[in-house]
């Protein structure tokens, strides 16, 4: 709960007159999860001549008018028209609904029944926003003999993180990290020895909850059976791997040398054939052929 909201409630509990608290019935604290809708109710317990009901948002500077209801009908002020509506419209029983609550909506709200001739009679209800992100579950193999399971969630107030199945888990540790925005990340980590893995695939679940708002979420993953588990550094060999054989070491070097030798033999054989062909041409014909090429003549 925000410090300002907590202080306001503390003051109200001390100085609020008992008679006034019995005139207006309202819920002291309304809890809603971020993004959900919140309903704020106010009911005047004694019949009065009510001319208007006004809802105000309590702030550090001054109370800000949110909406009013009178015999002329409902009226929501412009800054709140985006997400505030009247749930129940009446001069004795009046309630508003805040759609998709955000952090900025967390505050105390006052409802004033403007009566004649008694004047205003008020009641206050405070809206508390809960946040919950996650959970996320991670299963890793730290070495050849252990599997580590980690589950974490972030929320406000501090979420509770537990394992749904604790029979096969051991050595659990809990860690909390507080963030600047007021949320807290809770992580539970457990270590599982490889020899203690079940003989069949096992589903392990993680559950997180916010007790103040009754919010609960869960996530689960499957841990492979002991006979199918594979750890880093110990590759599994399949039939397909055995069929595909790649030359390595001395075999690869010998293959490369054979290929170079074949290429060199081909080049030498081609040069010998070329020299043999040129030696079979008569010298005169060769000279005549060259002159014919250099000085071509044309008969007139």
Q: How confident is the model at residue 240 (pLDDT cuts 50, 70, 90)?
A: very low
Q: What is the pTM of this model?
A: 0.61
Question: According to the per-residue pLDDT averaged within each range, which of 17-21, 112-116, 188-192, 232-236 is highest?
Answer: 112-116
pLDDT of 181 higher than 70 = yes
The contacts found for 21-28 with CB under 8 angstroms, 24 or more apart, are 21/123, 23/121, 23/123, 24/111, 24/113, 24/121, 24/122, 24/123, 25/123, 26/111, 26/123, 26/124, 26/125, 27/125, 28/124, 28/125, 28/126
Which residue, chain included where needed, has tokens 């290429």? 263
pLDDT of 162 higher than 70: yes
Residue 160 phi/psi, 5° resolution? -100, 125
Give the contacts of 128 (CB within 8 A, at least 6 positions apart): 1, 5, 29, 30, 31, 32, 106, 212
164, 207 in Cβ contact below 8 A? Answer: yes
pLDDT in tens, 46-83: 989 999 999 999 998 889 999 999 999 999 999 999 99
CA distances (Å), 101 to each of 40, 130, 187, in order?
12, 10, 27
- Structural domains present in the chain: 16-130 (2.60.40.10), 142-232 (2.60.40.10)
Of the pLDDT bands very low, low, confident and very high (cuts 50, 70, 90), residue 276 is low
Structure-token match 């963030």, residue found: 179
Q: Two tokens at 185?
A: 């990340």
At 2, give phi and psi (nearest 5°): -65, 145
Instruction: Tell which residue, 127, 193, 189, has the closest CA to residue 161.
Output: 189
Cα–Cα distance measured from residue 89 to residue 37, given in angstroms and rounded to the nearest whole number: 18
Note whether 124 and 110 are within 8 A (CB): yes
Q: Return the closest-CA partner of residue 133 out of 150, 158, 112, 111.
A: 158
Residue 131 has pLDDT above 50, yes or no: yes
**Could you tell me which residue, 244 or 181, shows the higher pLDDT?**
181
Average pLDDT, the chain: 75
pLDDT for 143 equals 62
Q: Which residues contact 29 (CB under 8 A, 6 or more apart)?
A: 9, 125, 126, 128
Q: Which residues pair with 215 in a beta bridge?
A: 210
């Amino acid at each position: 709960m925000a410090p300002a909201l907590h202080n306001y409630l503390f003051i109200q509990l001390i100085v609020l007159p008992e008679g006034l608290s019995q005139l207006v019935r309202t819920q002291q604290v309304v809890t809603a999860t971020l993004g959900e809708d919140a309903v704020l109710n106010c009911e005047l317990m004694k019949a009065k001549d009510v001319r208007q009901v006004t809802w105000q948002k309590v702030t550090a500077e001054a109370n800000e008018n949110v909406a009013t209801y009178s015999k002329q009908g409902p009226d929501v002020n412009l800054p709140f028209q985006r997400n505030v509506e009247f749930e129940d419209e009446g001069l004795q029983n009046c309630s508003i609904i805040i759609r998709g609550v955000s952090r900025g909506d967390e505050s105390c709200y006052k409802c004033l029944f403007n009566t004649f001739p008694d004047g205003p009679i008020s009641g206050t209800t405070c809206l508390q926003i809960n946040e919950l992100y996650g959970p996320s579950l991670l299963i890793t193999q730290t070495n050849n003999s252990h599997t580590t399971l980690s589950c974490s969630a972030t929320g406000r107030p501090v979420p509770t993180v537990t394992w749904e199945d604790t029979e096969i888990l051991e050595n659990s540790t809990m860690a909390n990290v507080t963030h600047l925005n007021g949320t807290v990340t809770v992580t539970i980590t457990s270590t599982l020895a490889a020899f203690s893995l079940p003989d069949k695939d096992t589903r392990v679940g993680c559950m997180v909850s916010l007790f103040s708002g009754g919010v609960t979420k869960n996530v689960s993953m499957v841990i492979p059976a002991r006979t199918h588990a594979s750890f880093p550094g110990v590759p599994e060999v399949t039939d397909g791997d055995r069929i595909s054989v790649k030359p390595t070491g001395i075999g690869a070097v010998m293959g490369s040398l054979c290929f170079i030798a074949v290429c060199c033999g081909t080049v030498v054989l081609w040069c010998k054939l070329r020299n043999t062909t040129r030696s079979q041409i008569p010298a005169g014909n060769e000279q005549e052929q060259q002159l014919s090429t250099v000085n071509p003549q044309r008969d007139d």
